Amino acid sequence: MVFFLLVLSALFLSCNKPAKTIEEMLPPGSKMSEWQRGEPGRIYKGNQLYEYINGGAEIYLEYGFVQVITQEYFHGDESLVVDIYEMADPQAAFGIYSIHRHPQVTPLQVGDEGYQYEYQTTFWQDHFYIVIMGYKSDRAAQNVLAEFAKKISKKIAGHAKPPELLSALPASGLVDHSASYIKGMLGLNMRFYITGENLLGLDGTHAEAVCGSYQSSSGEGQMLVVQYPQAEEEKAKEAEVAAVFAQKYQAMNPPASLFYEDDKGQFYSIKSGGNRLYVVFKASSQQAAVELIGLIS
C-alpha cells in the first residue's frame, strides 16, 4: 500500500511539473484518459510554418514566431486539435493573441488571458500562444477544450504581463479586452489599412503601436498609438499620415484641426506629441472623433 501511494504521488508530481520542451506541454493522452493522441505531434519551425498555415504564416513571423507543435486527439468519433505556438518573447505571444481575439467572446480564466469561442479555446501565457480547436459547439465540447487549456497552462513554467505600451491608450471609453499590440504593418492592416507601404515605420523595435476600440454616448471609434524612440519623429509621421488622409478623405473645417470624413460617413483625426502619434479612425460621428482625440493630454 505504501509503495502504491508513493507511485501515485510520483505520477501526480510529474504531471504537474513544468515542461522542459514544447512536446512536454501537450496533454499526454493514454488508455487511462478518455482522449487518445492520434499520430505523433508535428513540429514546424521558422519558415516551415508556411507548410502548416500557408496564407496566414506571415503575421506570426512578423510578431516573432519560433515554432509550433500540433497534435490531434480522439475520443470515439470526436476529435480536437491542439496547437502550441512558441513566440520570441511575451510581447510577441500577447501580440498574436490580441490581434486575433474579439472583445465580445466569453473570457476564460486560464494562462495569462484566455477566451472561449464557439469551436475554439485560445490563451496566451509567458511566450506561448495556444489554440485548441474542436468540431462541436455545445457546452460539453467547450468544457473539454477548456480542460485541455488548463492542463497545458500548468505545464508552462512562467507568466508575463501585457506590453507596457498598452497604458498609452486612454482608459475612458476603452472597450474591455479590445486593445491589441501591433508590431508591424501586417498587424496594423488587420486593424486599419492606411497604405500599402509601411508609412508608420512599424517594426517592433524602432517603432511599435497599440490599438483599441472605444464607445461613448457620441458613438464608437478606434484609436491607434504609435511610439517612436526619437523626439520629433512623430511630427514627421503626423505630416505623412495627414497627406495620405487628405488624398483619401474629405478634410473638415478648420483644416488645421486635422479632421477628415470618408465616403461612408466615418471620421478620422491625427495628433502627435511626446514621441507618440495618435490616430483616430472609423469614428461613427464627428463628435465621437472630437471626443476621442480630446482624450489625449
Instruction: Report yes or no: 35 and 75 within 8 Å, Cβ to Cβ.
Output: yes
Assess if residue 8 is contained within a domain. no
- Which residue in 110, 159, 154 sits closest to 131, CA to CA? 110
- Note the pLDDT of residue 8: 36
Q: What is the mean pLDDT of the chain?
A: 90
- Note the pLDDT of residue 271: 95
- Note the pLDDT of residue 2: 42
Q: What is the pTM of this model?
A: 0.90
pLDDT digits (tens, 9 = 90+) for 226-285: 999 988 899 999 999 999 999 999 998 766 678 999 999 999 999 999 999 999 999 999
Assess if residue 5 is contained within a domain. no
Helix%, strand%, coil% for the chain, nearest 5: 35, 30, 35
**Domain check: are 143 and 177 in the same one?**
no
- Note the pLDDT of residue 10: 41
Q: Above pLDDT 70, what percent of the chain?
A: 92
The b/e string for 252-275 (b: 16+ C-beta within 10 A; e otherwise) is beeeeebbbbeeeebbbbbbbeeb
Assess if residue 77 is contained within a domain. yes
**Domain check: are 65 and 134 in the same one?**
yes
Number of compact structural domains in the chain: 2
- Note the pLDDT of residue 4: 35
- Note the pLDDT of residue 79: 92
The b/e string for 54-92 (b: 16+ C-beta within 10 A; e otherwise) is eeebebbebbbbbebbbbbbeeeeebbebbbbbbebbbb
Domain boundary residue, one of 155, 173, 192: 155
Domain boundary residue, one of 126, 155, 184: 155
- Note the pLDDT of residue 254: 65
- The C-alpha atoms of residue 266 and residue 227 are separated, in whole angstroms, by 25
Cβ contacts of residue 210 below 8 Å, gap of 6+? Answer: 163, 165, 166, 168, 169, 179, 180, 181, 182, 224, 225
Residues of the chain short of pLDDT 50, as ranges, are: 1-14, 32
**Domain check: are 176 and 214 in the same one?**
yes
Assess if residue 255 is contained within a domain. yes
- Note the pLDDT of residue 18: 77
**Domain check: are 31 and 79 in the same one?**
yes
- The C-alpha atoms of residue 155 and residue 158 are separated, in whole angstroms, by 9
pLDDT digits (tens, 9 = 90+) for 222-232: 999 999 998 88
**Domain check: are 97 and 193 in the same one?**
no
Domain boundary residue, one of 98, 120, 155: 155
**Domain check: are 232 and 194 in the same one?**
yes
Assess if residue 149 is contained within a domain. yes
**Domain check: are 197 and 125 in the same one?**
no
- Note the pLDDT of residue 33: 64
- Domain extent, residue 178, equals 164-294
Assess if residue 117 is contained within a domain. yes
- Note the pLDDT of residue 249: 96
